[in-house]
Each structure stands twice: as C-alpha cells, then as structure tokens.
Structure 1
Amino acid sequence: MSIKKSGSSSVIQAQKLVDQLRMEASMERVKISLTAADLVQYCQEHRRSDPLLTGIAASANPFKDKKTCVLL
C-alpha cells in the first residue's frame, strides 16, 4: 500500500506543478523596456524626496547615537 500511496502523492505533486506552470504561462507579460522606462521616470520624479539621495537631517534621524563612545 505504501507504494500506491507514494505513487499517488507524486502524481498529485506533478499535477500541482502542471497547474502552476499553466497559470504562469497564461499570464500577460509586460515588456521590460516599458517597465524600465517607467521606473526611470518614477525615480526622476521622486528624487527630491529620496532619503538615499538627499540624506536625512541629523535632527530627524532616529538611528543617530545619542552619546559618543569614549574609551578610557
């Protein structure tokens, strides 16, 4: 019985894989060139508010050390 059980288990797994691949194959794809152009445009429009480009003010930085480290 264990052979039949493991055999049906692999069939179920294979069926799930086939269903997943069919679903992925039927999805509508977006051309990469269009997506890249949209991404560049978005980055250019929002560059003034990007903290990686403009930095964070020391007074607004919650991760700034409160005290300096002093070694004796």
Structure 2
Amino acid sequence: MDVYCSNNVLQARRAVEQLRLETELQRIKISAAAEQLVQYCQEHRRADPLLTGINASSNPFKDKKTCVLL
C-alpha cells in the first residue's frame, strides 16, 4: 500500500507543477487570436493548395503511369 500512496503523491506533485506552469502563461483573448488567424489566412491564401489547387505537373501524389485493364 505504501508504493501506491507514494505513486499518488508523485502524480499529484506533477499535476500541481504543471498547473503552476500553466498559470504563468500569457494568454491572449479569443477575439484577438481569431483576428490574427484570419489575417494570417488572408496573407497566405495564394500559397494554400487547398484554395488554389495543385498544379498537375508538380503534384508528387499524381500517378506516374495509368493502369489499363484488358
């Protein structure tokens, strides 16, 4: 039973230490984060392959040969 208690104490200490670290983090408001995310997306939309598509000649996942069934 002694090992079980010491393991619980160790887990509790780790949890307390993690919570102390998290309380020191500087957080920004959600609205500011959303605004920054929208701005980043707008600035990089021309390089986003999900929006612009991938050029067939530069697509590394394009099949090199076509499969023909007889």
Q: TM-score range by the shorter chain?
A: 0.7 to 0.9
Give the unaligned 5+ runs of structure 2. Answer: none
Say which of 3, 6, 14 aligns to 1:5.
3
C-alpha distance in 1, partners of 2:64/2:32?
46
Cα RMSD between the aligned structures?
1.2
TM-score normalised according to structure 1 size: 0.84
Where has structure 1 moved over 3 Å in runs of 4 or more? none
Equivalence for 2:31: 33
| Count of equivalent residues | 70
Identity level (%): 64
Gap regions ≥5 residues in structure 1: none
Cα distance in 1 between the residues matched to 2:30 and 2:4: 42
| Cα deviations by residue, 1:42-65 (Å, 9 ceiling, x for unpaired) | 111111111111111111111111
